[in-house]
């Protein structure tokens, strides 16, 4: 009898990467560094973000997109955030600067890691390359190394030029939203993809909510369209970026975003959390899952957001 | 807002600013057209439509060629798919930031919560203590890098008052001539020569090459030198004769009002 017969193992099968919102949030513990993809008013994995708030995660270091949107502001408003590492938090014309971000930064309730978007990607690149830092030139002569002591000025050993060492941005879990994904974790974006690929490459684990789950055959028909191969979890979340846009599917829900901004601005200006707590209660804490959230928003509103 | 503005009305302050931007740009240069920045957007598009068939226009994170479009309506968001329909290429953001050689032909327009007499910009915030700011700004976004890497750049503000145009910024997020000392930029190894202008709704400042301080280059039509002095938080030299700013020509004004800014953001 050979030894091989003694090994009783499960049949070797390729396993599914399909995940649920709740299991993604289970992978995130208090104090972790969590990155969120998308860009300002588009492409944020909101079904997952709202569950993160419901689960009451605390002391997170949030690495927003190079230009993050109001999803980071909402996490700050909900008390989940200790540190923000992103060059912009806002909503363009809807809110030049996120109100909760502004308030927390002004009163020192969060640590802001001041970066230009070029430093942000240098830090992600260093993490992806498993290096301690990437060098960058821009930023010398500015206040950035003073207000962000993680940035170190140094003379490069090749040409003796003054440069900044941008430390690796090491991410525990990244959360992205994309157009499509298959059950093996292959992701396909519509549009420019923002910085999602760089964020994923800098992360230990990545989870992606998608508008549609596609078949592996569809993936193999055009491998060039695969933007990220093999993420840990694919979460089916139709309208999962709402109130933000999902390219190729729907536009931002401006009315909803303005409702949030009004509530958060009230907190900034008057110190009263009543309107903000109403918003969080109605849209985030009371709905038990993504489907109930969409119920609260309402079908007519959702169906009014198509691009063309 | 009328869709058919009276073309005989003189240029507004913001239209004048757009004209200044357009006249400065040259064919073959690379410009970004951001969202929610109507003046630099209009100036860059005006240059592209009137003098820039070989300009590379980055619009909504795409490379776009727009001269054949009769009307270019504004878009609200940098990720607006409506503004991506002219794309010849996508600019995936992390790739764009890795490809800095593009900026060898680049011209950039940098705003500021504060802008000082030596051409430094501050988007970080106002206050003496960084951990307890009186006013938190938007942050550097991409201005630290774009001002360092572009071949040429200008400062721009649509609010000309003493709180914005200050003697010395509280924090430097984009560095101009620093403290104004001789050789400041070359000692740091910064690749370009520093900002060329500060463009405001009242005037255009340039920089004295000997002192690297802002000086009055021109005032817009209808604005007096005294008004500029009263609205500026730093002292600046005024020559014996200050020329009037050359705003958009009649033809340019018509293009602005009928093709670029139908909604009247500049009026």
Q: Where are the domains of chain A?
A: 18-114+172-295, 132-167
Chain A residue with minimum CA distance to B127: A106
Chain B residue with minimum CA distance to A142: B172
- Chain-chain contact of B136 with A42 (C-beta, under 8 angstroms): no
Q: Assess if residue B144 is contained within a domain.
A: yes
Q: Assess if residue B5 is contained within a domain.
A: no
Chain A residue with minimum CA distance to B59: A192
Quote the pLDDT of residue A8.
66
Query: Nearest-CA neighbor of A233 among A63, A59, A22?
Result: A22
Superfamily of domain A18-114+172-295: Glutaconate Coenzyme A-transferase (3.40.1080.10)
Residue A17 near residue A185, CB atoms below 8 Å? yes
- Chain-chain contact of B93 with A66 (C-beta, under 8 angstroms): yes
Q: CA–CA separation, A208 vs A186, rounded Å?
A: 10
Confidence at B1, pLDDT banded by 50, 70, 90: very low
Quote the pLDDT of residue A4.
55
CB–CB contacts below 8 A, A to B: 170
Q: What is residue B118's three-state secondary structure? A: coil
Q: CA–CA separation, B78 vs A21, rounded Å?
A: 28
Residue A199 near residue A176, CB atoms below 8 Å? yes
Report whether pLDDT(B88) > 60: yes
Min CA distance, A202 vs chain B (Å)? 12
Q: Assess if residue B1 is contained within a domain.
A: no
Min CA distance, B24 vs chain A (Å)? 24
The interface residues of chain A toward chain B in range 137-176, judged by CB-CB distance below 8 A, are: 137-144, 146-147, 161-162
Residue B148 CB-half CA count within 13 A: 29
Q: Assess if residue B96 is contained within a domain.
A: yes
H or E stretch at A187: strand A187-188
> Taking CA B128 as the corner, what is the angle to CA B126 and CA B134, rounded to the nearest 5 degrees?
40
Chain A residue with minimum CA distance to B80: A251
- Chain-chain contact of A141 with B132 (C-beta, under 8 angstroms): no
Q: What would the pLDDT profile of B98-140 be if each residue is shown by its tens digit?
A: 999 999 999 999 999 999 999 999 999 999 999 999 999 999 9
Q: Assess if residue B2 is contained within a domain.
A: no
Residue B197 near residue B206, CB atoms below 8 Å? yes
User: Any residues with CB less than 8 A from the CB of A21 and at least 6 apart, and which?
Assistant: A47, A48, A51, A209, A235, A237, A289, A290
Q: Assess if residue B170 is contained within a domain.
A: yes
Report whether pLDDT(A108) > 70: yes
Q: What would the pLDDT profile of B179-206 be if each residue is shown by its tens digit?
A: 999 999 999 999 999 999 999 999 999 9
- Domain total for chain B? 1
CATH value at residue B137:
3.40.1080.10
Quote the pLDDT of residue B114.
98
Across the interface, which of A121, A143, A197 has its CB nearest the CB of B172? A143
Q: Is B141 on the interface with A (CB under 8 A)?
A: yes
Report whether pLDDT(B3) > 70: no
DSSP-derived secondary structure letter, B103: G
H or E stretch at A25: helix A21-26
Report whether pLDDT(B80) > 90: no
User: Any residues with CB less than 8 A from the CB of B223 and at least 6 apart, and which?
Assistant: B202, B203
User: How large a percentage of chain A has pLDDT more than 90?
Assistant: 95
Domain span at residue B137? 13-260
**How far is C-alpha B148 from the chain's CA centre?**
15
Q: What would the pLDDT profile of B17-76 be if each residue is shown by its tens digit?
A: 999 999 999 999 999 887 778 999 999 999 999 999 999 999 889 999 999 999 998 888
Q: CA–CA separation, A197 vs A43, rounded Å?
A: 13
The interface residues of chain A toward chain B in range 219-278, judged by CB-CB distance below 8 A, are: 245, 247-248, 251-252, 254
Tokens linked to A234 = 């694919």
Q: What residues in A contact B61, CB-CB < 8 Å?
A: 39, 192, 194
- Computed over every residue of chain A, the mean pLDDT equals 96
Min CA distance, A220 vs chain B (Å)? 23
Across the interface, which of B36, B62, B147 has its CB nearest the CB of A93? B36
Quote the pLDDT of residue B2.
46
- Computed over every residue of chain B, the mean pLDDT equals 94
Q: Assess if residue B267 is contained within a domain.
A: no
Quote the pLDDT of residue B141.
95
Q: What would the pLDDT profile of A15-57 be if each residue is shown by its tens digit?
A: 999 999 999 999 999 999 999 999 999 999 999 999 999 999 9
For residue A243, whether the previous peptide bond is cis, meaning omega lies within 30 degrees of 0, is: yes
Q: CA–CA separation, A201 vs A228, rounded Å?
A: 9
- Chain-chain contact of A67 with B81 (C-beta, under 8 angstroms): no
* Number of H-type helices and E-type strands within chain B: 7, 14
Min CA distance, A210 vs chain B (Å)? 18
Tokens linked to B214 = 């802002």
Q: CA–CA separation, B187 vs A136, rounded Å?
A: 16
ipTM confidence score: 0.95
Q: Assess if residue B265 is contained within a domain.
A: no
């Amino acid at each position: 009898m050979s030894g091989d017969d003694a090994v009783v193992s499960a049949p070797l099968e390729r396993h599914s990467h399909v995940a649920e919102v709740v299991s993604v949030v289970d992978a995130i513990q208090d104090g972790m560094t969590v990155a969120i993809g998308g860009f300002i008013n588009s492409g944020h994995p909101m079904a997952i973000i709202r569950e993160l708030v419901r689960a009451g995660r605390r002391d997170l270091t949030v690495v927003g997109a190079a230009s993050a949107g109001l999803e980071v502001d909402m996490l700050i408003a909900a008390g989940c955030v200790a540190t923000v590492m992103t060059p912009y938090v806002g909503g363009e014309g809807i809110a030049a600067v996120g109100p909760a971000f502004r308030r927390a930064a002004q009163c020192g309730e969060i640590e802001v890691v001041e970066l230009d978007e070029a430093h942000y990607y240098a830090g992600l690149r260093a993490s992806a390359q498993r290096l301690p830092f990437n060098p960058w030139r821009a930023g010398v002569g500015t206040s950035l190394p003073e207000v962000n002591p993680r940035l170190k000025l140094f003379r490069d050993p090749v040409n003796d030029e003054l440069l900044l060492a941008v430390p690796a941005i090491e991410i525990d879990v990244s959360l992205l939203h994309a157009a499509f994904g298959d059950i093996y974790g292959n992701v396909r974006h519509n549009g420019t993809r923002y910085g999602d690929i760089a964020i994923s490459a800098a992360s230990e684990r990545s989870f992606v909510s998608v508008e549609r789950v596609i078949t592996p055959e569809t993936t193999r028909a055009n491998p060039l369209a695969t933007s990220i191969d093999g993420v840990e979890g694919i979460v089916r979340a139709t309208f999962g970026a709402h109130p933000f846009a999902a390219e190729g599917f729907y536009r931002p829900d401006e009315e909803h975003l303005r409702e949030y901004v009004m509530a958060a601005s009230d907190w900034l200006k008057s110190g009263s959390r009543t309107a903000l707590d109403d918003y969080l209660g109605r849209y985030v804490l009371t709905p038990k899952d993504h489907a109930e959230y969409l119920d609260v928003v309402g079908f007519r509103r959702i169906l009014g957001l198509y691009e063309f | 807002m009328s869709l058919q503005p009276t073309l005989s009305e003189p240029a507004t302050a913001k239209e004048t600013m757009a004209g200044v931007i357009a006249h400065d740009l040259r064919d073959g240069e690379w410009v970004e057209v951001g969202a929610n920045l109507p003046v630099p957007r209009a100036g860059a598009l005006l240059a592209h439509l009137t003098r820039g068939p070989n300009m590379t226009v980055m619009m909504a994170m795409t490379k776009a060629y727009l001269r054949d479009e009769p009307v270019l309506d504004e878009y609200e968001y940098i990720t607006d798919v409506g503004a991506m329909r002219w794309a010849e290429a996508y600019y995936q953001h992390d790739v764009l930031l890795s490809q800095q050689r593009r900026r060898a032909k680049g011209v950039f327009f940098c705003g500021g919560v504060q802008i000082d007499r030596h051409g430094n910009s501050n988007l970080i915030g106002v206050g003496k203590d960084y951990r307890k700011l009186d006013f938190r700004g938007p942050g550097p976004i991409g201005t630290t890098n774009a001002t360092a890497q572009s071949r040429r750049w200008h400062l721009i503000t649509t609010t000309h008052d003493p709180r914005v145009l200050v003697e010395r910024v509280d924090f430097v997020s984009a560095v101009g001539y620093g403290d104004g000392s001789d050789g400041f930029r070359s000692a740091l190894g910064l690749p370009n020569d520093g900002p060329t202008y500060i463009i405001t709704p009242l005037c255009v400042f340039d920089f004295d090459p000997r002192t690297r301080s802002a000086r009055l280059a021109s005032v817009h039509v209808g604005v007096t030198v005294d008004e500029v002095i009263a609205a500026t938080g730093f002292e600046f030299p005024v020559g014996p004769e200050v020329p009037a700013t050359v705003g958009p020509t009649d033809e340019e004004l018509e293009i602005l009002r009928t093709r670029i800014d139908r909604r009247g953001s500049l009026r």
